[in-house]
């Protein structure tokens, strides 16, 4: 792992995976270390993934100020990482940025605060929290999996989650994880099993704290004037953030394209690595041309 000191003195960790032009990668969770991104389904064969561990996750330090864990504040760390890479001689006057799930909130705030720094933006299974979305299609996506053998146990665990005491919640979340994937086999089970060791409760709770201070309308106003190309990737079987959110988030950008991989879930590079690469790699190549 490499590291740098961010704007407030907090040391943050990142690693470099792959070969080719840099692609800065923001994990989701919220509060999950970036290792779960793996090589993004082989995308690292043609891009160098710069996988950032957000503050208080993975190998990054816990900040002195808990308020700096809020998602809009995390955008400042993206700019600090870009400046660090530039100081090391990297060509990052403008960056290609990829974010997953909750990390898409950070990416959107960064895009609004520093649109001149973006060459392209990829948002993977995004949260539509900034857009005021309600994930209206998620329940229907869950029910569409009713014939799968794991469904009864996962559905029962999901129904019990809202009223469960804190001590039981983690076990119930584990039981619902088949809903996060487009298929539930040895590969996806192994990926799901890494979540417990990669997650930071401190970072998760801080991510959304006090978000009434985030001016979504101001963010939207800037993004709707942006010129950089945007690709929003979703999974047709994503029973965590759904498919409607993909189109809702894309609607905030004038140069956005939405692409839904029908057989993928919330982690499309795990479920459908070839289809994921086929969607993302040409988009990045075109943006760099």
Mean pLDDT in the chain? 95
Does 164 fall in a domain? Answer: no
CA 235 – CA 255 distance, rounded (Å): 21
Q: Which two tokens stand for residue 200?
A: 């930071």
pLDDT tens digits, one per residue of 42-75:
999 999 999 999 999 999 999 999 999 999 999 9
Backbone angles phi, psi at 128, to 5 degrees: -105, 30
State yes or no: pLDDT of 212 exceeds 80: no
Burial class (CB in 10 A: 0-12, 13-18, 19+), 20: middle
CA 76 – CA 228 distance, rounded (Å): 19
Res 84: pLDDT = 98
CA 111 – CA 227 distance, rounded (Å): 11
Does 147 fall in a domain? Answer: no
Does 32 fall in a domain? Answer: yes
Please state the domain count of the chain. 1
Q: Which two tokens stand for residue 74?
A: 């995390």
pLDDT tens digits, one per residue of 251-287:
999 999 999 999 999 999 999 999 999 999 999 999 9
* Lowest-confidence pick of 106-115, 196-205, 207-216, 264-273: 207-216
Backbone angles phi, psi at 9, to 5 degrees: 90, 0
CB 124 within 8 A of CB 100: yes
* Range of the structural domain that residue 110 is part of: 2-141+200-288
Does 109 fall in a domain? Answer: yes
- Please count the other Cβ atoms lying within 10 Å of the Cβ belonging to residue 136: 11
- Please count the other Cβ atoms lying within 10 Å of the Cβ belonging to residue 127: 26
> Beta strands 95-100 and 118-124: pairing type?
parallel
* C-alpha 229: how far from chain center: 18
**Of residues 96, 124, 101, the one with CA closest to residue 111:** 96
Q: What is the CATH number of the domain that holds 280?
A: 3.40.50.1820
Does 165 fall in a domain? Answer: no
CB 284 within 8 A of CB 194: no
Q: Work out the average pLDDT over 199-222.
A: 87
**Of residues 117, 86, 100, 37, the one with CA closest to residue 245:** 100
pLDDT tens digits, one per residue of 160-175:
998 888 888 889 999 9
Q: Work out the average pLDDT over 239-249.
A: 96
Does 129 fall in a domain? Answer: yes
Three-state helix/strand/coil letters over the chain:
CEEEECCCCCEEEEEEEECCCEEEEECCCCCECHHHHCCCCCHHHCCEEEEECCCCCCCCCCCCCHHHHCHHHHHHHHHHHHHHHHHCCCCCCCEEEEEECCHHHHHHHHHHHCHHHEEEEEEECCCCCCCCCCCCCHHHHHHCCCCCCCHHHHHHHHHHHCCCCHHHHHHHHHHHHHHHCCCCCHHHHHHHHCHHHHECHHHHHHHCCCHHHCCHHHHHHHHCCCCCCEEEEEECCCCCCCCHHHHHHHCCCCCEEEEEECCCCCCHHHHCHHHHHHHHHHHHHHHHC
Does 170 fall in a domain? Answer: no
Does 183 fall in a domain? Answer: no
pLDDT tens digits, one per residue of 215-225:
889 999 999 99
Which residue has tokens 């989650």?
A: 161
Q: Work out the average pLDDT over 26-42.
A: 97
Backbone angles phi, psi at 42, to 5 degrees: 95, 0
């Amino acid at each position: 792992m490499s590291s740098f000191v961010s704007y407030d003195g907090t040391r943050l960790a990142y690693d470099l995976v792959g070969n080719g032009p840099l692609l800065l990668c923001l994990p989701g969770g919220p509060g999950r270390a970036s290792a779960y991104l793996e090589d993004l389904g082989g995308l690292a064969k043609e891009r160098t993934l710069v996988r950032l561990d957000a503050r208080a996750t993975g190998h990054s330090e816990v900040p002195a100020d808990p308020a700096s864990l809020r998602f809009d504040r995390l955008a400042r760390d993206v700019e600090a990482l870009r400046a660090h890479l530039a100081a090391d001689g990297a060509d990052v006057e403008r960056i290609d940025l990829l974010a997953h799930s909750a990390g898409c909130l950070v990416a959107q705030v960064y895009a609004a605060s520093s649109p001149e720094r973006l060459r392209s933006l990829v948002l993977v299974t995004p949260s539509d929290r900034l857009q005021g979305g309600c994930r209206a299609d998620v329940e229907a996506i869950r029910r569409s999996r009713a014939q799968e053998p794991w469904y009864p146990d996962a559905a029962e665990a999901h129904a019990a989650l809202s009223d469960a005491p804190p001590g039981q919640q983690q076990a119930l979340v584990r039981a619902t994880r088949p809903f996060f994937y487009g298929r539930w086999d040895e590969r996806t089970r192994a990926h799901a099993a890494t979540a417990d060791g990669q997650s930071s409760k401190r970072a998760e709770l801080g991510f959304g704290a006090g978000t009434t201070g985030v001016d979504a309308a101001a963010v939207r106003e800037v993004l709707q004037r942006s010129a950089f190309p945007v690709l929003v990737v979703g999974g047709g079987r994503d029973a965590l953030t759904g498919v409607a959110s993909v189109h809702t988030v894309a609607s905030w950008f004038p140069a956005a394209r939405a692409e839904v991989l029908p057989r993928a879930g919330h982690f499309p590079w795990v479920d459908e690595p070839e289809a994921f690469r086929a969607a993302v790699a040409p988009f990045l190549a075109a943006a760099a041309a």
